[in-house]
Amino acid sequence: MNAYAKETGMREQLAGRDFLTLADYSEAEIAYLLDLAAYLKKRRQAGKVDQPLKGKTLGMIFEKSSTRTRISFEAGIYQLGGLGLFLSSRDIQIGRGEPIIDTAKVLSGYLDGIMIRTFAHGTVEELAANASIPVINGLTDSFHPCQVLADLLTIQEVKGGLKGLKLAYIGDGNNMAHSLMLGAAKMGIDVTIAAPDGYQPDSAVTEQARLAARFYGTGVEVTADPEAAAENADVLYTDVWASMGQESEQQVREQAFAGFQVNSRLLSLARHDAVFLHCLPAHRGEEVTAEVIDGTRSAVFQQAENRLHAQKALMTALMS
């Protein structure tokens, strides 16, 4: 990583850190990760090989199934010269009642880093508190910070920068809404979350994001009006209405979110060069129309690919 030799201070600052939410990372630290991701992406596209994690091993605990998270981390650690171990909760003792504290201490003796994708955010916090190696939050019901790193990288590529933009997230005030508020606002983006009453973001997370936004000179707004949110937006973002574990609420949620579909009408309210993002998987005809997600203003597959590059930057920074 010779291109980053001058960033020794930042690399030492991040080495060994956990990555649980973007609330724990400053604007400078997030910018460094984005620059590193862009560098690693450019190197891969040029056919260059960087292996700063040669000999390192990442344990990947999955209590929730995954496509993008598993493949991006598994391929990413391999491309960096290391080894990724897929650890289903059905295959390790954590799924049979072993205390988190014991799992954390045992894995710390075997591995150089842990990525976990699970339900309760408290599980990740307890794992990190008791592990002596970096712990990365691959997703919880409360936060999805790895996805937002890829989102910011995509916006930066499409728009040429981040500061001064407006992002409108339309849909459930879930882990994506939380992480976008915390991350995008620190990077100079005004964020508006449009969600129905009863499905808006957690008030404590919203207040935390607003405090950070005021410090960084941006704004965080929450509304029940998707059209007001979409007006003059540079980025339109949505997610599924019923996330993993909420399948039994599908019909109720379809009724609640009926006016929150991202379609050509909503897209027309945004800026003429607005980009559409979705963390995937997507349900065409529900939260977004095929016309929008498959249209020329959609960058969802560029966004999905950027999970790989963002994850590689994160592992390189934390595990080197």
Q: Is 307 a catalytic residue?
A: yes
Spatial CA neighbour of 176 closest among 198, 214, 196, 150:
150
* Half-sphere CA count of 309, side-chain side, radius 13 A: 23
311 is in an annotated binding site: no
Question: Can you list the alpha helix ranges (DSSP code H) found in the chain?
Answer: 8-14, 27-45, 68-79, 100-110, 121-130, 145-159, 175-184, 203-216, 226-230, 250-256, 264-269, 290-293, 300-319
User: Quick check: 173 and 142 in contact, CB under 8 A?
Assistant: no
Q: Is 175 annotated as a binding residue?
A: yes
277 is known to lie in a ligand binding site? no
Q: Is 93 annotated as a binding residue?
A: yes
Check the annotation: does 13 bind a ligand.
Answer: no
Structure tokens at 176: 């994506």
Q: Is 296 annotated as a binding residue?
A: no
66 among annotated binding-site residues: yes
| 144 appears as a binding residue in the annotation | yes
Q: How many CB atoms lie within 10 A of CB 42?
A: 12
Q: Which of 239, 278, 303, 309 is catalytic?
A: 239
Q: Is 117 annotated as a binding residue?
A: yes
Instruction: Report the relative pairing of strands 166-170 and 220-223 from DSSP bridges.
Output: unpaired
Tokens at 74, concatenated: 């598994």
Active-site residue (options: 79, 147, 156, 261): 147
279 is catalytic: yes
What's the CA gap between 296 and 311, in Å, rounded?
Answer: 26
Out of 117, 210, 278, 309, the active site residue is 117
Decide if 239 is catalytic: yes
60-77 core/surface letters (b: 16 or more CB in 10 A; e: else): bbbbbeeebbbebbbebb
Question: Does the active-site annotation cover 144?
Answer: yes
Q: How far apart are CA 159 and CA 165, in angstroms?
A: 9
11 is in an annotated binding site: no
**206 in a labelled binding site:** no
Q: Beta strands 220-223 and 235-238: pairing type?
A: unpaired
Known binding residue 244? Answer is yes
Residue 68 labeled ligand binder: yes
| Catalytic residue chosen out of the listed positions 151, 307, 309, 311 | 307
Q: Which of 279, 303, 309, 311 is catalytic?
A: 279
Cα–Cα distances (Å) from 159 to 32, 146, 192, 305, in that order, read 18, 20, 18, 17
Q: Tell me the catalytic residues.
A: 117, 144, 147, 239, 279, 307
Binding site for L-ornithine, by residue number, is 175, 239, 243-244
Q: Residues marked as binding?
A: 66-69, 93, 117, 144-147, 175, 239, 243-244, 279-280, 307
Which residue ranges make up the annotated binding site for carbamoyl phosphate? 66-69, 93, 117, 144-147, 279-280, 307
